[in-house]
Amino acid sequence: METPTTQKQQLVAKLREIGHREAIMKFFTLLKELIDNIDVTENDPRISFVVRKDLGISANINFRTALSICKEKGDTWITMMLKRSGIEQLEKLQLVFKDCSQNSKFVETTIGFKNFGVLDNPLLQKNWQSCLLELRDTAVSSIKKDAHNPLIYRAAEAEGVRQELFRLVENPDYELQKLDNEVAESQIDYLTTAVERPPIPLNLILYGPPGTGKTHRAQGYCQNYSHHFVTFHQSFGYEEFVEGIRPEAVGGQVNYKVKKGVFQEACLAALRKAGYQSMAGCLDDAPEVRAAKLATASPHFLIIDEINRANISKVFGELITLIEPAKRLGNANELWLTLPYSQERFGVPANLYVLATMNAADRSIALLDTALRRRFQFWECLPDAALLAENRIENTDLAQLLRTLNERVERLYDRDHTLGHAYLMPVDTFEALCEVFKNQLIPLLQEYFYDDWRKIQLVLGDNERWGKPTDAKLVQVKMEYSTRREDALFGEILESYEPIITYQINPLLTEKRYDELPRDTFRWIYEKP
């Protein structure tokens, strides 16, 4: 088997011989479709992507050539294999079909660059995809696997690899040996070049009550860096986060493929910051070179919103160990493992920041998975009334209003269920304040106190002893069932039952008759009338 340097030299020489960038790009696009359709990894024994001395570059499945590109007779040609059973539908395309072998179920067609538009024809695409699936299902091991050039696979998968190859193709005098020695020559630069890091730990969870700006703060940390964003939910699992097998309809058939999840995509994005185009390329590098590259690579963020809404153990699986800073790729105690579905090696790069948020009102930190708590640092985000210091709505001081509400909530419940300043930040009119209470704050209090209206009244200052006039109370007594009312309702007095009081939200609020509310309605929450 050829060395990686020789394989690179052979591929660059063949691409230079073909000499048609647009045609080569089309070939790599089709090759990417082939890889996705048959769902193979870089070194799958069923495939061999070969640089041929006479016929350009070919992609072989088992012993059959499914796709190839070459230059011949002054033109650039792409040859693809099709199923014989469907070629009658392709008559209008005026293609020439050639038997692959006697009595074969497959034929091949060769298309010149001037007719490349045919390659996008839906009927041709459908036939080719169906052909690929059949080849995959019958493939065992390619007889040409010893000639397999994995760089062709990587060029189909990664834009960065293709661009590097084209740079070499377009500069014939470029010394390939310099490219191979580039890492060793620049190792000192990697070790001495400083990179600006965000002022946070690698694994961080921002937690606090709703509306305290956790997501806004997280976005602020990564505003100068690239990032992935995901929101966890109850049905979110390992398959969506790391990798999983998912169905796809291809050529009228359901095909199952291993798909990368958002965490794996974020890790690959972080590796690209260090100059790697694949996880395999990173892990095949020398440990000291890998450490030097990752130490000076720009950060990449993965932001996880509402991290506590999912089953953390189920989502992270065995990867919970790999996110520890000491076990990241590039560190002395680095670890990697083999993923269960793709059987590919995987590790977490040292320049990936995992920044998560969680609502303390949904679940306490104490209830989080123990393994997660050990591997993350936790920064609390609390309501900050000082941010509202300049905000006054007529006679109402919003900062004092928030402080009073939260002091009462903390006394009646706990600190995790206080109200965030973000609810009041956009308020600039009396009507807007009414809307916030009607649509956000009162429903939130209902959720917190499980419709215990007596406690909600205490929070809002609507209890009798606070002294508000009835029309200024946001939560009012609707009906108090005295013994006389019980007798009228049931025909008897229910001695075994405690007096029943029903409540309602002020009709002036629910019916949006805000102009009829006293202008001091909200000031009287924190200041007695």
Q: Which two tokens stand for residue 333?
A: 């105690």
Which CATH number is associated with domain 200-380?
3.40.50
Q: Give the pLDDT of residue 364.
A: 62
For 193-231, the pLDDT digits (tens) are: 556 788 899 999 999 999 998 988 988 888 888 889 999
Q: Which residues pair with 61 in a beta bridge?
A: 47, 64
Lowest mean pLDDT among 175-189, 273-287, 511-525: 175-189
C-alpha–C-alpha distance, residues 527 and 529, integer Å: 6
Task: Extract the tokens encoding 268.
Answer: 């690959």
DSSP-based three-state secondary structure for 423: helix
**What token pair was written down for 87?**
């070629």
How far lies 169's CA from each of 50, 59, 77, in Å? Answer: 18, 21, 19
Q: How do residues 132-149 score in pLDDT, each as one tens digit?
A: 888 887 766 655 667 888
Residues 327, 321 contacting (CB under 8 angstroms): yes
Q: Helix/strand/coil (H, E, C) string of 428-483?
A: CCHHHHHHHHHHHHHHHHHHHCCCCHHHHHHHHCCCHHHCCCHHHCCEEEEEEECH
Is the confidence at residue 74, as pLDDT, over 90?
no
| Per-residue buried b or exposed e for 29-41, using 16+ beta carbons within 10 Å of the residue's own CB | ebbebbbbbbbbe
| Domains in the chain: boundaries | 4-180, 200-380, 385-526
pLDDT of 407 higher than 90: yes
Average pLDDT over residues 416-424: 92
| The residue type at 403 | R
Contact (CB, 8 A) for 407 and 461: no
pLDDT of the residue at 177: 46
Q: What percent of the chain has pLDDT over 90?
A: 36
From the list 365, 363, 347, 219, the residue with the least C-alpha distance to 276 is: 347
d(CA 290, CA 275): 10
Q: What six digits make up the tokens of 20?
A: 């048609």
Mean pLDDT over 25-45 rounds to: 85
pLDDT in tens, 345-365: 999 999 999 999 988 877 666
Q: What is the CA radius of gyration of the chain?
A: 33
Q: Quick one: which of 15, 289, 296, 339 has its CA closest to 152?
A: 15
To the nearest whole percent, how much of the chain has pLDDT over 70? 89
Does the structure show a pLDDT above 80 at 498?
no
How large is the average pLDDT for residues 464-470? Answer: 91
Please name the residues in contact with 465: beta carbons below 8 A apart, sequence gap of 6 or more: none
Ranges 156-165, 283-292, 387-396, 504-513: which has the least confidence:
156-165
pLDDT at 48: 87
Choose the weakest-confidence range: 181-190, 297-306, 468-477. Answer: 181-190
Sign for the CA dihedral angle at 366, 372, 377, 380 comes to: negative
Number of CB atoms found within 10 A of residue 213's CB: 20
Integer CA distances (angstroms), 253 to 166, 249, 266, 507, in order: 36, 5, 31, 58
Residue with tokens 């560190």: 331
Q: Which amino acid is at 161?
A: V
Mean pLDDT, the chain, as a whole number? 85
Beta-carbon contacts of residue 13 (< 8 Å; ≥ 6 apart): none
